[in-house]
Chains A and B, each alone.
Chain A
Amino acid sequence: MPLRFVLLFALIAAFCWPIDLRAQDTATSATVQIARPLFRIGYLRREETGHPGEQQLEQLREALLADPAVQREFRNTGYGGIGLFSCDGAADMIRRLNAREFDVAFTPANLYKEQQAGYTAILKARRPKDIIAPPPSDYVRRLGVVIVSPRSPLFQAHSTDPAAIRGVLGKDRMAVVSTQSVAGFNAPLLALARRYDLRTFDGGYLWFESSEEVVKAVLSGLAPAGACEAGAVESVLVGAGLVPVGLSPAEFARQRDRYLRVVAESDPVVTDPVIVRRALAPRGSALGRAVRQRIRTWSLESRLGDIQYRDATDDEYRSLKELLDEFNSVIGEVPR
């Protein structure tokens, strides 16, 4: 019995030990301040295009450290510096969120909904092709689409017959992006299931690292069809010079249809958030407010690879849980 108490005490002591010691085995880039805890920022090491990478987050760290309001709040709360911590995939991210390892995290929306450590969303990513509405609604949503290549029989047929689509798509391969992308994976596949009652693919899934990669796979003929974010289609076509910049949505759709055919489109889904520990929620934390403000201004100033961050509330992500629940019930776990 005493031994059990001793072990429990040791576990609690280890957990409460200064953060700089725990960070030594996982930090990829950190300014270590002896005896003062780090303000820890977590992110996925390699995710689909649109998430900030290590270089961009390094700029953010410098911006935060240079911000007078953040400096003041760091002194008030006892933080000695900022550490950047990369996660090796979704499972690692969720595990570390549940362990409250991060003060701030850039995370896919579905992972945010899966964590159970009480983080709250303070910002949402906004990319150029996202659906937005002007303040005060500050609505930012993203669409997912299922596309077919010119080599597919569906490309020429213009068929919307569910049986025909099931007969073609269901017997072939489907290119998809990481399961951690709601708009690029869950939403379009759910739309396909809803509209055509198509849940499985005989050829299996072809996994790609981003929605843009899915579009390229379909265009090159590597995959006959793919599910991705809608914005990726335009960015790839424009980037390759196949479609000119600045077209109206109708004109873009007309020119897009020369190279791809959209057979399903999802409902708008909320974009990926920046989340903070509940204690740093801006409504009750001056540090949370300072950090949120600095991230917003920094992202606007640096454009962060065409991603901006808009204010968000935790309530915006409630619909996400319903979508994921439906996905799990209709399609279930996707084997990888």
Chain B
Amino acid sequence: MKRPRPSPQPPRWPLMLALVLLVAALATLLWLRDRLVKGQQAELQRAVQLFETTGVLGRPESRTLVFADIETNARACQSDLIRRLVVVKLTAEGDRLVVYPFHLALSSPNWQSTGDWTELRVGGSPATGFLYVDVDRTALRVVDGVVAMIGIMLAAGLTILLVRQRGKEQQLNRAIGELEERKAQVLQLERLALAGQLSANVFHDIKKPVLNIKHEVTDALDHDGAPTRELLEMVRSQTDFFLQMLRDLGLESFVNASRDDVEWCDLTEAVDRALRLVRYEQEGIDVEVSFAPDHDYLIQAVPHRLVQLFSNLALNAFQAMDGKGRLRLAASVVDGRTVLLVEDSGPGIPDALREEVFSPFVTTREGSGGSGLGLYICRTIVEDLGGTLTVDRSADLGGARFRVDLPRSEAPENR
């Protein structure tokens, strides 16, 4: 089911640009506000200094003063900023007497409740009086209002950004969920594919002992009909191999054998068993097996996996040569690694397929019964042993040459 695409959101940069501009405006306004506040403080300080330096309020114990001088000072303090000024004299008795405007206490007894007064102390210790200043804070209020407005706009912008971000996160989560679902589906499909592949593997491998038994028994019947001991032992061996495979039908144990099954194996023995296993396809083909002297060929592996490896390689060669040709298996030790070359005189593998042939279900014998799994299984076994499996053309025999390169295992006596 195709999901509908989410409706496209407007671009984010205009909002970001607006937010940046708002922040810049906010910073400018805060700077302006700071200037205004400092200007106000300086003007108030000047007023206090004027009254202190002229000493017009006298000392607290003196009730004599010159109203004209106070009025002169008060007029000097008036400005656009200081709208109203009230001068209060502090007496020794603790009375606070309004001396400017001198009639304020009579005409407006509640004058302090009629404005936004700032109290400023005049004089040192003891204080001689106070100035009550009604400061014009219109500009400051305007700035504060604009700052608040910009703050609200910023908050709104950030909220929008957060909401959009949350929306994107939700979309992403949905996409991740869908991806996980698809992944699970793919995994399921892969499992199914693997099951099919394993089934093919099983078929591919158990086919060999069955065909081998059939071939040997048919051969005996064709000659004298009496079963020989050799025949019977071969049948028992093939049957054991068959049963071993059935035990290994578990998924992991088939593809990746358990470490518990690993033991010291002799490659010579494994090669011999493998060749015997596929003898039913050997007719008309010369087989040479050589192991370079002065080396042991012991490796740690699951024995039947080694038989499986070499039987696959030998069977591939037999089938490729179609009853006529040569097969050479030569083992040696090169640079501390065990190398086993399997060469044939068949048609070889085209260069373009030399890597592909190790993929499952890829075969060069399309239509002639090849399952395309043999080489895939071989490479899996070799890689499980920490080695490599490659193919090129045999210079001597002209056909394919498989190179099994295995790390040397530490000898048992050295353990």
Contacts and interface: CB of A to CB of B under 8 A. Distances in A.
A255 to B, nearest CB: 12
Interface in A249-275: 259
B99 A213 contact: no
Nearest to B100: A220
Contacts of A242: 103, 106-107
A336 B176 CA distance: 100
A206 B63 contact: yes
B68 A220 contact: no
Nearest to B97: A221
Contacts of B63: 173, 206, 217, 222-223
B103 A220 contact: yes
Contacts of A208: 64, 66-67
Contacts of B105: 220-221
A208 B103 CA distance: 17
A219 B66 contact: no
Contacts of A223: 63
Interface in B53-70: 63-68
A240 interface: yes
B410 interface: no
Interface in A216-233: 216-217, 219-223
B301 interface: no
Nearest to B62: A206
Contacts of B407: none
A207 interface: yes
A42 interface: no
A221 B68 contact: no
B173 to A, nearest CB: 76
A240 B64 contact: no
Given A240-B103, A242-B103, A242-B107, A220 B64 contact: no
A150 interface: yes
Contacts of B95: 221
A223 B64 CA distance: 9
B303 interface: no
A209 interface: yes
Contacts of A222: 63, 65, 89, 97, 99
Question: Considering residues B65, B95, B98, which has the most beta carbons from chain A within 10 angstroms of its beta carbon?
Answer: B65
Contact of A219 (B64, B68, B89, B106): B106
Contacts of A213: 66-68
A46 to B, nearest CB: 10
Nearest to B99: A220
Contacts, number: 50
A242 B101 CA distance: 12
Given A206-B63, A220-B99, A223-B63, A259 B106 contact: yes
Contact of B102 (A206, A210, A220): A220
A7 B168 CA distance: 116
B66 A240 contact: no
Interface residues of A, number: 19
Question: Considering residues A219, A220, A221, which has the most beta carbons from chain B within 10 angstroms of its beta carbon?
Answer: A220
A206 B97 CA distance: 16
B97 A220 contact: yes
A220 B105 CA distance: 7
A308 to B, nearest CB: 23
A216 B105 CA distance: 12
Interface in B99-156: 99, 101-103, 105-107
Given A206-B63, A209-B68, A219 B97 contact: no
Question: Considering residues A173, A219, A242, A259, which has the most beta carbons from chain B within 10 angstroms of its beta carbon?
Answer: A219
Interface in A161-180: 173
A257 to B, nearest CB: 12
Contacts of B107: 240, 242
Nearest to A223: B63
Contacts of A240: 101-103, 107
A306 B107 CA distance: 27
Nearest to A207: B64
B89 A259 contact: no
B320 to A, nearest CB: 127
A219 B103 CA distance: 6
Nearest to B89: A222
B58 to A, nearest CB: 10
Contacts of A209: 66, 68
B57 to A, nearest CB: 11
A219 B67 CA distance: 12
Interface string B62-103: 011111100000000000000000000100000101110111
A235 B341 CA distance: 133
A34 B82 CA distance: 53
Contacts of B99: 216, 220, 222
Nearest to B65: A222
A220 B98 contact: yes
Contacts of B66: 208-209, 213
A331 B187 CA distance: 124
A216 B64 contact: no
Nearest to B106: A259
A222 B65 CA distance: 9
Contacts of B67: 208, 212-213, 216-217
A219 B68 CA distance: 15
A220 B91 CA distance: 13
15 contacts: A206-B64, A208-B64, A210-B68, A213-B66, A216-B99, A217-B67, A217-B102, A220-B98, A220-B99, A220-B103, A220-B105, A222-B89, A222-B99, A240-B102, A242-B106
Interface of A: 150, 173, 206-210, 212-213, 216-217, 219-223, 240, 242, 259
Interface of B: 63-68, 89, 95, 97-99, 101-103, 105-107
The 3 closest A-B pairs by CB, nearest first: A216-B102, A220-B102, A216-B67
Given A207-B64, A221-B98, A223-B63, 12 more contacts: A213-B68, A216-B102, A216-B103, A220-B102, A221-B105, A222-B63, A222-B65, A222-B97, A222-B99, A242-B107, A259-B103, A259-B106
